[in-house]
Amino acid sequence: MPEFSRLALAISDSEKAQAVADEYRALNCWVPMEDAEAVVVVGGDGFMLQTLHAMLDSGRILPVYGINLGTVGFLMNRPRIIDKLLTRVAKSNPHTIAPLTMEATTRDGTRYEYCAINEVSLLRETRQTAKLRITVNDKVRIDELVCDGVLVSTPAGSTAYNLSANGPILPLDSNLLALTPISPFRPRRWRGAILPDRYSVALTVKEPEKRPVSVVADQKEVRDIEHVTIRVTQDNHLTLLFDPGHSLDERIVAEQFLV
């Protein structure tokens, strides 16, 4: 179990989180993020992703214990008695997740690189369907997918947008990625693929002038793209802290029995 003597506190500016912010601030002598050994995040999944991305951008990555005061809270722990927080953090179990690296090139040749913890998704920008070429490990697998879009999801993100698009739920320790089409028109029967996470996926937009496509890496969007490459980040892995019995593994299993 982790032992942290210096904890930082990050609280969402949502109304629900701010209503209890003073109670959390009074619990401990919190330190600035740059001096901390771990971070307590109070809010929802969106704020958790925002905090994790800020750490990835800064290059200083710390274990994170989340408290759900949002809607779903898939990446968070349940909100319980506030006074027990420090004990819960001390008894928490770590789980490591590997984000994706997305490299995108736009029609004008500009290049962007972002990380994604949940998924990278390509989406049509207009009423015209997108036409995409799918290449896996330098081999063309589908020359032309006509669709609303396609996404590549990590196991941690497999119960989010990927599940809504009828993609598979992936166990966290599976070392797999989900490649899932969004409203595929042709080939109509293709329902996606499950890939080893050591594979890279390249997506090329066909007819980008007539059928413009954007790409979104979690919360960051790039429009009018021509080409995207997606692979698992080999460094900068993230550590989430969960209460015993409430890890992401259990949540992924439980999600498959919801009716």
In the block, which residue shows the tokens 């949540």?
251
Q: CB count, 10 Å around CB of 28?
A: 15
Omega before 187 cis (within 30°)? yes
45 catalytic, yes or no? yes
> Rg (Cα) of the chain, in Å, rounded?
20
The Cα–Cα gap between 247 and 94 comes to 9
One-letter identity of residue 177: L
Q: Please say whether the beta carbons of 39 and 33 come within 8 A.
A: yes
| DSSP assigned state of 10 | E
- Catalytic: which of 22, 45, 83, 138? 45
- Distance CA(125)–CA(208), nearest Å, equals 10
Report CA dihedral (202, 141, 134, 143) to the nearest 10 degrees.
130
Q: What residues have CB less than 8 Å from 251, skipping those under 6 apart?
A: 74, 159
Q: Which residues are annotated as a binding site?
A: 45-46, 118-119, 148, 156, 159-164
Angle at alpha carbon of residue 139, lines to 137 and 140, rounded to 5°: 125
CA distance 90 to 1: 7
Active-site residue set: 45
